[in-house]
Each structure stands twice: as structure tokens, then as C-alpha cells.
């Protein structure tokens, strides 16, 4: 009996504290629900999208609580349904493709309402190439010639080639279309002599460098004018002209080309804290990206936030940009409109 009284007399002073602990919600660590591993969708191995994705995955894995696994596909048209369903957490995509994926544009048969933007990356340039041993010097020289087409795994490439053809007053009916599934297959077709011209991607791309080492290639210039640029922007909403200097990748002379931005995107089903950690890791450690791949030299804080993105921002990204005092009235207006379009 004495022991019982002693027990309760000892417990009594703690009862108010115990009651308070029960009443308060449990403390939750910001990283408590962060998954151990997430995936990022990229283009095929050997292409710049994949190499850049590897670099992004490396920095996130080293500077955040999670590991990132790179998952190569033929292109965003292939991995976007997985991102929309939440089976894939991240993706690296052009601004044009992101806008089309969100609004059900070319190559995307349904609206991917769960697509969310994390940050803007670098501007990427792209060229059309022919064998250096050929007589082709201008896009207009490709009339009635064999040109890679379709690109079912990455429809934006078809639009790019079409924009180049249009710059010379040509259309698909003016050339011999040779359907290929993706960029690598198109370059292989050029290597084997099955086509006369192919989409080359960026001049620094590993696959294009490899092709150039095997059979030297030459880039054809985009034939720039106000009319051709307007047509290019009709086909590629975020495109703009760029003069690429010789010595860049495979280029042996200056070349007029096109470029557009790429974005790191996420599934809306990704937890807010996880998205926040991804953005934070890349923002704070952007210099670690630069030595990995030429594309990643363009990933700098001054360019990472875009107030007018092609799809809504992820809440985790919004939280981060608010903390950096970057979230503006313009950004909120665009976010509200884009979220409304997803309903």
C-alpha cells in the first residue's frame, strides 16, 4: 500500500506535463517523409539530356537526404505519363514540351494535369546536320532529299526539323521523310547513309561528337528572317534565334541556330518537402553542376526562377522561392491561371 502511494505521489507532479504532451501535435521533421530514392526521367544514354540529368542526380544525391536514380527513355513523350501518375518523381524537359504536356499539345494525347515545375535550367541550342563530305550547305539544298522525321518518342524534335525546313521555304512534302523513333536512331541513320540530313541536337552532345569522330558532320544554318522566326515560334513557342560560335562542340564555323530553355519538373504527387529539398540542393550547390556537363554551366540562381513557366510550380518550389523573395505578383497571377487550367 505504501508503495502504491509512493508511486502516485511520484507520478502526480508529472501529470500536467504528460497531459500537455498528449494535447500537443507531434513534432514532425522537415525530412521525416523524404523518400530514400526518387527517379528522374531523361532522354536516352548518349544524349545531352541524359548527361545533364546524371549531373543533376549526382548533386541532389550528394547534397540532400535522398538518392536520385536516372531513368532514360526515348523522350518526354514516353516518360510523361509516369510523371503524371506519380510513378516517376522528376523529369528534365524542354519548355516547349512542358507546355505541350500540360495543355495536351503536339505529341501529348492527353493533358498531364499533375506536371509541376521546379526550376528553369539552361538554354539549349539545336542544329540539323549532314555529312561534311556532302554538297549540302543550306537547308534549301535538302529539297527532295531524305530527312529524318516523326521522332515518336520525342515529338518536339519533329517540330524543330519542320521549323528548319520552313526557314528555307520547305515543308515535309518537299523532302523524303524517313521516320525514326528518336534522336540516336536518326544520327545512326545518317551514319549509315540511310538519310541525307538528321536532327543533331546540341553541338556539344556526346552522341553527336561520337558521330562527328566517325564521319565528320556539318551543321546547316537556320535561315533567319522575321517571317521564318515567326513560323519557328508557331511550331516551338519558346524558341529564339542564337548564333553559335565555331569551336562549340562539333562546329567548325559560326552557325545561326535556334534555342529554348529546359526545365526540371516534378509530379504534383511528390511531397512538398521533397520538392523543396530538390530545389534547395540545386540552388545552393549550383557550382557543383558546372564541371559535369557544358549544359549545366547555364544553371545559375539568376536564371533558375521563371515567373512565367510553361506549367504550374510545385508547392515545394513556391515555398523556396518565397523564402528567397522571388515570388512576385506576376508569378502568383500566372500560377493561379495555370492551376485553374489543370482543373
| Claim to verify: residue 244 and residue 300 sit in the same structural domain | no
Residue 208 lies in a domain: yes
Q: Residue 9: pLDDT above 70? A: no
Query: Which pLDDT score, from 0 to 100, does residue 33 have?
Result: 67
| Claim to verify: residue 130 and residue 254 sit in the same structural domain | yes
Residue 23 lies in a domain: no
Residue 55 lies in a domain: yes
pLDDT tens digits for range 127-175: 999 999 999 999 999 999 999 999 987 888 999 999 999 999 999 999 9
| Claim to verify: residue 266 and residue 207 sit in the same structural domain | no
Residue 171's alpha-carbon distances to 111, 165, 168, 220, 231, in angstroms, are 28, 6, 9, 16, 12
C-alpha cell at 32: 521525416
pTM for the model stands at 0.77
Query: Which pLDDT score, from 0 to 100, does residue 155 have?
Result: 85
What's the rounded Cα separation, in Å, for the pair 211 and 168?
Answer: 25
Range of the domain at 192: 125-260
Question: 206, 234, 260 — which closes off a domain?
Answer: 260
| Claim to verify: residue 70 and residue 131 sit in the same structural domain | no
Domain containing residue 314: CATH number: 3.40.190.10
What's the rounded Cα separation, in Å, for the pair 236 and 252?
Answer: 27
| Neighbouring residues of 145: CB distance < 8 A, sequence distance ≥ 6 | 136, 175, 176, 196, 197
If you average pLDDT over every residue of the chain, what do you get?
90
DSSP code, position 271: -
Question: 208, 230, 260 — which closes off a domain?
Answer: 260
Q: Residue 191: pLDDT above 80? A: yes
| Claim to verify: residue 239 and residue 323 sit in the same structural domain | no
> In this structure, what is the dihedral angle of CA atoms 194, 148, 84, 260, given to the nearest 10 degrees?
130
Q: Residue 197: pLDDT above 50? A: yes
pLDDT > 90: what percent of the chain?
A: 82
Residue 252 lies in a domain: yes
Domain count, the chain: 2
126: helix, strand or coil: strand
Residue 45 lies in a domain: yes
Q: Which residues of 89-103 are buried (b: 16+ CB within 10 A; e: fewer)?
A: bbbbbbbbbbbbbbb
Q: Residue 195: pLDDT above 50? A: yes
Residue 32 lies in a domain: no
DSSP code, position 76: H
By CB neighbour count within 10 A (0-12 exposed, 13-18 middle, 19+ buried), where does 290 fall?
middle
Residue 292 lies in a domain: yes
| Claim to verify: residue 98 and residue 140 sit in the same structural domain | no
Question: 260, 275, 291 — which closes off a domain?
Answer: 260
pLDDT tens digits for range 240-263: 999 999 999 999 999 999 999 999
Q: Residue 6: pLDDT above 80? A: no
Query: Which pLDDT score, from 0 to 100, does residue 11 have?
Result: 39
Amino acid at each position: 500500500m505504501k508503495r502504491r502511494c509512493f508511486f502516485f505521489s511520484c507520478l502526480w507532479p508529472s501529470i500536467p506535463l504528460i497531459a500537455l504532451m498528449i494535447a500537443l501535435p507531434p513534432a514532425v521533421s522537415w525530412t521525416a517523409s523524404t523518400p530514400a530514392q526518387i527517379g528522374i526521367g531523361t532522354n536516352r544514354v548518349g544524349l545531352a539530356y541524359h548527361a545533364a540529368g546524371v549531373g543533376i542526380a549526382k548533386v541532389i544525391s550528394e547534397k540532400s537526404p535522398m538518392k536520385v536514380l536516372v531513368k532514360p527513355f526515348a523522350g518526354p513523350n514516353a516518360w510523361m505519363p509516369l510523371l503524371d501518375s506519380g510513378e516517376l518523381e522528376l523529369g528534365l524537359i524542354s519548355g516547349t514540351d512542358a507546355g505541350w504536356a500540360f495543355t495536351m499539345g503536339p505529341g501529348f494525347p492527353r493533358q498531364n494535369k499533375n506536371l509541376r515545375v521546379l526550376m528553369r535550367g539552361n538554354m539549349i541550342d539545336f542544329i540539323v546536320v549532314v555529312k561534311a563530305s556532302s554538297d549540302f550547305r543550306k537547308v534549301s539544298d535538302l529539297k527532295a532529299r531524305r530527312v529524318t522525321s516523326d521522332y515518336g518518342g520525342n515529338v518536339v524534335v519533329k517540330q524543330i526539323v519542320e521549323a528548319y525546313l520552313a526557314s528555307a521555304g520547305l515543308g515535309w512534302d518537299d523532302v523524303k521523310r524517313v521516320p525514326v523513333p528518336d534522336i540516336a536512331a536518326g544520327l545512326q541513320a545518317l551514319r549509315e547513309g540511310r538519310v541525307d540530313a538528321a536532327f543533331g541536337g546540341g553541338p556539344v552532345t556526346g552522341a553527336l561528337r561520337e558521330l562527328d569522330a566517325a564521319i565528320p558532320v556539318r551543321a546547316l544554318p537556320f535561315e533567319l528572317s522575321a517571317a521564318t522566326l515567326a513560323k519557328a515560334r508557331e511550331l516551338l513557342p519558346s524558341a529564339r534565334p542564337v548564333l553559335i560560335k565555331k569551336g562549340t562542340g562539333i562546329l567548325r564555323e559560326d552557325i545561326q541556330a535556334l534555342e529554348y530553355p529546359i526545365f526540371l519538373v516534378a509530379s504534383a504527387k511528390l511531397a512538398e518537402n521533397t520538392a523543396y529539398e530538390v530545389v534547395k540542393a540545386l540552388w545552393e550547390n549550383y557550382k557543383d553542376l558546372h564541371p559535369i556537363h557544358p549544359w549545366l554551366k547555364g544553371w545559375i540562381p539568376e536564371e533558375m526562377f521563371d515567373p512565367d513557366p510553361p506549367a504550374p510550380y510545385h508547392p515545394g518550389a513556391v515555398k523556396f522561392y518565397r523564402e528567397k523573395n522571388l515570388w512576385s505578383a506576376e508569378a502568383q497571377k500566372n500560377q493561379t491561371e495555370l492551376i485553374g487550367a489543370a482543373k
